[in-house]
A and B are shown apart, each in its own frame.
Chain A
Amino acid sequence: MKYLFSLLILILTQVFFAQKSTLSGSITDSKTGETIVGAKIYIKSINKGTVTNSYGFYSLTIPSGIYDVIFSANSLDSVREKIDLNADFSLNVELGQKIQNLSEININAKQKDNINSTKIGQIELEIAQLKTLPAFMGEVDIIKMIQLLPGVSSASEGGQGFYVRGGGPDQNLVLLDEAQVYNASHLFGFFSVFNADAVKSVNLIKGGMPANYGGRMSSVLEVSMNEGNYKKFKLKGGLGLIFSRLTLEGPIKKDKGSFIVSARRTYIDVLMKSFIPKTSNFAGSGYYFHDFNLKANYKLGKKDKIFLSSYYGKDEFTYTNARDNFSVKMPWGNAITALRWNHIFSPKLFMNVTGTFTDYLFKFVSEQDIFKFELKSGIKDVGGKVDFSYYPNSRHKIKWGSEYLFHTFTPTSVSASQEDVVFDTGKAQKLKSHETAIYLLDEIDLNEYVRVNVGLRYNMYHFVGPFTRFINGSLNGQDSQIEYKKNEVIKFYNGLEPRLSGRILVNETSSIKAGYNYNYQYVHLTSLSAVSLPTDIWFPSTDIAKPQTGWQGTVGYFKNFKKNMFETSVELYYKKMNNLIEYKQGALPQDNVNDNTDNLLVFGEGWSYGAEFFIKKSIGKLTGWIGYTWSKTDRYFPDLQATIFPAKYDRRHDLSIVAGYKLNNRWTFGAVFIYATGNTLTLPTSWYVQDQDLLFNYGSRNSTRMAPYHRLDLSATLYDKPTKTHFDEKTGEKIEVEKKCRSNLSFSIYNVYNRANPYFLYIDNDGELLKGDFKITVKQVTLFPIIPSVTWNFEF
């Protein structure tokens, strides 16, 4: 640690003595006025460059002189500017749309970025490309695309939970415009909460996590919402078989501010209504979800900009049985708001201040006759962060900042009543905690070949009252308890998280990269089931549940071929995780009577290691990638089992092939093929009889493996003509004019060869032992057969 500090001080000393001029500004899309994330600024003569940050801001400090500067971004025309730089200079650049009749699509303007940057285990997804790939039930889904990347696997068929390099789904920091999202899925995990029409960029960090991110162990999924069109109003949407979506965007004041509002709703409930007659016992049963995105932003002069981002989504499952006078309502959803302020102190110093609010709530209400039962579980986070980016010269990018979150967790709150009798369900337990962090990082070019990103993060966590700690006494005796007062610190944790990543350029087309990160995580997700459900409970660190900690080491070789047409990489990683949690055998978290959820938990550790191979083709008519991962993930929970066992998502092989083909201006085709080793699960190894009831005895945890998962999806998108022909009144010549209204039809087929992939297995027993027709069988449940879908998308 001492060496790390010395290195930082040495670097900072160098930084402050440098004397150069700074070129800075923002890069926007000329058509919409939206800022562009990750646009590239490059000066060939001195081989220096930078990219815009997530707010479209760039800063490049270089020796004074005359330069040819190239500004470029995905699928937009590059701009070349000659600049006489003898003092600090601010230049905002607008990049124009490429002419549509290009026969090729170039999906990666950041060519060579994979070789040059220190980013290891980091992938940015292009939303435009995602929209041409096969979509499940016609809905473009960011998280499903993330699952196609090496090192990332899905929880189960259709599932939204994603596992990064052997870490659990709770170990992914999912950020929507910098606010945390706790349960990023709809419909029990089949669709993500991210509406692709409202999303601007997606960035996944699965290794070598920089110091400005923290609070999770495995990965960061950073999703930025569109800002809205600064120039004109636009309406776009899509009509699908079970979904529709609509987006409106436009200027609040032209070139000063803009907004975007986007909404989606399923009509499964409406479809179900037509199948269930009104006289049926089950009339009123159904399911729907809707979500709503809003973003507004406004430039307050040249140096300030504010953003308001908001998401609200709700799922509701209802079940009614009129005969038994029984009904269930199960709503759950997220409400997220982020308010941000960008300020440019100087061409070299950029600041972002964010205030965030996240509310996740799951509710279960059941009524039968006069008996009413209600269960609630949720999280409320209120927080803020300040981030500074300082660009002293072209060799350094320094960031520092601080972050604070106040968590209120309600793991389970139960109430039950029967007419006038209110049952004793205990006090609703709310767990409150403060999470704070400060960080400093610098990305340094040590020389032409070596670049390092070195950082340090310090975190603190206070678990505070009011809180009642129940201590379980003897089986037939009374429990004891400790009462903590409001704001009383029950437990304090803190720790340092060193982060280091670097690259060595081997030559023009290849580099070697390595990364190390140590992480603390103060939240846990506890799951009773083998698949991810809204009944999974988020739980904070307490005096009993220690924070998860872990480290990851990764090393990779990156090489581009054929003038960057092909990007390839091989990455190896090793990851160690401590203080992981699971429920005790047979735990039933059903109430809060004289007990705390963490009394039902056991603690363990985990390991994961693997190799990831990636080939990506970004240029040409045919684009896409092939990713293959070999990995091994184990867990050890001494209170569950004396031996190490495989994690439920331990997958030896994971292959994804993703391809897009642009035939012409009208037709684009997409294909996705996936092959993955089957998930593990625990099945009964034996049966026995007690009081004439058949009971099962389970064997070693996760000792059974399901059949491999494989699937092919295909898609085709038919675009209307981008232009229409007009006659120039003056010249009488035909001219092509861009159409105001655009539309496309997107056809996709999920699971083309109708593979019966295992969703889960269970033991089925039929007949009666004493009648002699008794039979035990293993049944495999498959969720999705071949599913064709069509969606009509429009924009005007």
Chain B
Amino acid sequence: MKTQKIIGLIVLLFFTISCEKEVEIEIPGYEKQLVVDGFIETNQPPFVLLSNSQDIYSPTDLNSFLSGFISGAIITVSDGTNSVVLDEICTDNLPPGTEEFAAQIFGLPVEEIANYHLCAYTSFNPLIFGQVGKTYDLTVSYEGKNYTSTTQILAPTYFDSTYWKPTEGLTDYGYSYVTLSDPVETKDAYKWEVKRINKNEDGKEIDATFTKTFQPIFNDDFINGLTFDFWYENPMSFKEENSKSEFRGYYKLNDTVVIKFSKMDQITFEFFEKKYVQLSSGGSPFASPSNIPTNIKGGALGVWAGFSPIFDTLICKQ
């Protein structure tokens, strides 16, 4: 990540002295590919979205984006003992009580979700709910082609402790901190997500869903076997229109934060690591033009990811 930082700074320097303009240039070589976005978490059903990759110059309005999602595929998930064909569930015909979840998945307002025909694949069969220590095979059959993948749910790592302290110079605002003891004998990789559950004026939790931080992925290359403290920012504060810029990134005194700390296998980590590198380098040629590696075999893009999250509640008080 440090190489990215160096490159980022150099980019910053160049941008200060340069000028830019929009150009039309031929970018040859587009091939439509299937995109698999699937995951399975401990005690949760498998969940898969399918879509198509789009030409770089293709229309990018909302309808074009939503029309990229695919229905009509046959998806099977197997843990070696149980093999389950996932159900196709579409937004215009949702089981009662799942509207909110579906709206979050597609990023649409809950009241509009029924107006679209957007499909996802999952199963309510508890036999195929995620369990620590198991390996899950995925098979997608679509338009006569088969795509396969495998992921694992590894044993989670728990925090030693969590705490909050105000940032120097402030009394009511600070980052969230944890103490973590990384296991020495395994290669470990983690994902950090958060949501605040203190209630707002309407009596609802402030954050409806978990939000990823800006660099939510890390592995133990630097910290293998160490016990150490680290902090993460409050990613939600950057999206809050009424938050003051000097307090952005911090949790407020008395915030109650649920930290979802998920462990993943190395192949899943590779996908997410390269994904966040790409997101931070933004297609700049200062970074190597590299595709995000996929663990889907058969010519598709995307990921089939297994996570074993732990949940820890932090009350922001000293």
Contacts and interface: CB of A to CB of B under 8 A. Distances in A.
B60 A774 contact: yes
A614 B98 CA distance: 74
Interface size class of A (residues with CB under 8 A): 35 or more
B226 A317 contact: no
Interface string A581-616: 001011111110110000000000000000000000
B56 A687 contact: yes
B290 A364 contact: no
Interface in B23-37: 23-33, 35, 37
20 contacts: A366-B2, A418-B229, A423-B228, A528-B7, A583-B288, A585-B288, A586-B270, A593-B221, A593-B222, A681-B285, A683-B56, A686-B53, A688-B54, A691-B37, A704-B28, A760-B284, A760-B285, A762-B285, A770-B65, A783-B14
A781 B18 contact: yes
B8 to A, nearest CB: 10
A416 to B, nearest CB: 6
A686 B56 contact: yes
Contacts of A11: none
A366 B9 CA distance: 11
Contacts of B187: 475-478
Contacts, number: 256
Contacts of A760: 284-286
Interface string A15-53: 000000000000000000000000000000000000000
Given A366-B5, A418-B230, 7 more contacts: A330-B9, A535-B6, A591-B221, A682-B285, A687-B53, A687-B56, A778-B25
B266 interface: yes
B224 A424 contact: yes
B127 to A, nearest CB: 26
Interface in B3-19: 3-7, 9-10, 12-15, 17-19
Contact of B222 (A330, A416, A698, A705): A416
A13 interface: no
A213 interface: no
B17 A699 contact: no
Nearest to A760: B285
B293 interface: yes
A695 interface: yes
A364 B56 CA distance: 35
A780 B21 contact: yes
B287 interface: yes
Contacts of B267: 475
Interface of A: 188, 287, 317, 319, 323, 328, 330, 364, 366, 373, 375, 414, 416, 418, 421, 423-425, 475-478, 528-531, 533, 535, 583, 585-591, 593-594, 681-693, 695-701, 703-707, 756, 758-764, 769-772, 774-783, 785
Contacts of A330: 6, 9
Contact of A585 (B15, B30, B224, B291): B291
Interface of B: 1-7, 9-10, 12-15, 17-33, 35, 37, 51-57, 60-62, 65, 68, 107-108, 154, 185-187, 221-226, 228-230, 246, 265-267, 270, 273-275, 277-279, 282-293, 301-303
A423 B301 CA distance: 35
Contacts of A701: 289
B56 A535 contact: no
B56 A776 contact: yes
Per CB-CB distance, the 8 closest pairs between chain A and chain B, nearest first, are A699-B29, A475-B266, A530-B285, A586-B290, A682-B289, A763-B283, A772-B62, A688-B53
Nearest to B245: A323
B22 A779 contact: yes
A535 B274 CA distance: 19
Contacts of B5: 328, 366
Nearest to B285: A530
Contact of A779 (B23, B35, B108, B246): B23
A775 B12 CA distance: 23
A331 to B, nearest CB: 12
A760 B284 CA distance: 8
B276 to A, nearest CB: 9
Given A319-B9, A704-B25, A761 B18 contact: no
A771 B291 CA distance: 27
A780 B56 contact: no
A100 B222 CA distance: 67
Nearest to B154: A476
A695 B288 contact: no
Contact of B51 (A689, A756, A771): A689
Nearest to B231: A369
B60 A776 contact: yes
A777 B284 contact: no
A528 B56 contact: no
Contacts of A535: 3, 6-7, 10
Given A476-B186, A588-B277, A686 B30 contact: yes
B62 A423 contact: no
